[in-house]
């Protein structure tokens, strides 16, 4: 009995430490340590749902920020961790969402073959999230589906109208979402709607930081400033 109690407290402390480290993810070694702790917890307890989806989330961050030669492995590890979360709790949105996020990053970053391989599963996972919990994580599934409909060629299901609809739906949950406004700006640039694109970029720059997503907000603010200087007002 005493050994079980000790193991319980070790797991609680590890989870708290991993969460604290992940909040410091802008410092890459902290994100790595968080991922290692969740991986270790999952190895100790293969039924640790929170460790599984949080590992998938950490792998997504690491895949976008680690040295280039490591990135694909992190995204693939994130997909695997997300699948473990889904196997444990198929009716929870976390695993489905982070599977889709890691697949989407692979599809955007590693060429046509990855795009073709993951195109359909990404949409299926995101639609599952919308079915299970539409407001999950500030309507992140709508945001990601908006990106999907924007990035996928029209021949394979891409649709700018649906992209805009999903991105605007995500803003109902968080009108200050830097990611949603930035994705809308890119869509409007593609459509030649330059004044609207500039307005969206200014919203990114002016939006307050979300304490939970501050590292992401700061990155999108930087991207918006860089893009704004290249988007001249329509004459």
Mean pLDDT for all residues in the chain: 92
Entry pTM: 0.90
C-alpha–C-alpha distance, residues 162 and 145, integer Å: 9
Q: What is the pLDDT of residue 235?
A: 59
Compute how many other C-beta atoms are within 10 angstroms of the C-beta atom of residue 148: 24
Q: What is the pLDDT of residue 115?
A: 78
Q: Position of tokens 């004459």?
A: 235
| Residue 83 CB partners (closer than 8 Å, separation 6+) | 95, 99
Joined together, the tokens standing for residue 207 give 């939006």
Q: What is the pLDDT of residue 222?
A: 98
Compute how many other C-beta atoms are within 10 angstroms of the C-beta atom of residue 50: 17
Count of residues in the chain: 235
Is the separation of the CB atoms in 63 and 105 below 8 Å?
yes
Q: Above 60 in pLDDT, residue 9?
A: no
Q: What is the pLDDT of residue 7?
A: 43
Q: Above 80 in pLDDT, residue 139?
A: yes
Joined together, the tokens standing for residue 94 give 């976390």
- The pLDDT tens digits for 140-184 are 999 999 999 999 999 999 999 999 999 999 999 999 999 999 999
């Amino acid at each position: 009995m005493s050994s079980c109690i000790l193991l319980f407290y070790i797991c609680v402390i590890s989870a708290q430490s991993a969460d604290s480290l992940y909040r410091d993810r802008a410092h890459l070694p902290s994100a790595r340590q968080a991922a290692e702790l969740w991986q270790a917890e999952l190895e100790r307890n293969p039924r640790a749902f929170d460790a599984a989806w949080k590992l998938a989330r950490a792998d997504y961050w690491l895949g976008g920020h680690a040295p280039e030669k490591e990135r694909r492995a992190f995204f693939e590890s994130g997909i695997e961790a997300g699948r473990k979360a889904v196997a444990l709790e198929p009716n929870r949105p976390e695993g489905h969402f982070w599977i889709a996020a890691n697949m989407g990053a692979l599809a955007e970053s590693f060429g046509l073959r990855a795009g073709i391989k993951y195109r359909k599963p990404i949409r299926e996972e995101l639609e599952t999230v919308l079915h299970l919990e539409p407001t999950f994580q500030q309507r992140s599934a709508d945001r990601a589906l908006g990106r999907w409909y924007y990035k996928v060629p029209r021949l394979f299901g891409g649709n700018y109208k649906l992209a805009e609809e999903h991105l605007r739906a995500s803003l109902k949950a968080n009108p200050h979402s830097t990611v949603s406004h930035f994705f809308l700006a890119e869509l409007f640039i593609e459509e030649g709607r330059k004044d609207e694109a500039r307005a969206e970029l200014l919203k990114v720059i002016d939006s307050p930081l979300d304490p939970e997503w501050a590292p992401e907000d700061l990155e999108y603010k930087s991207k918006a400033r860089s893009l704004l200087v290249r988007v001249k007002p329509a004459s």
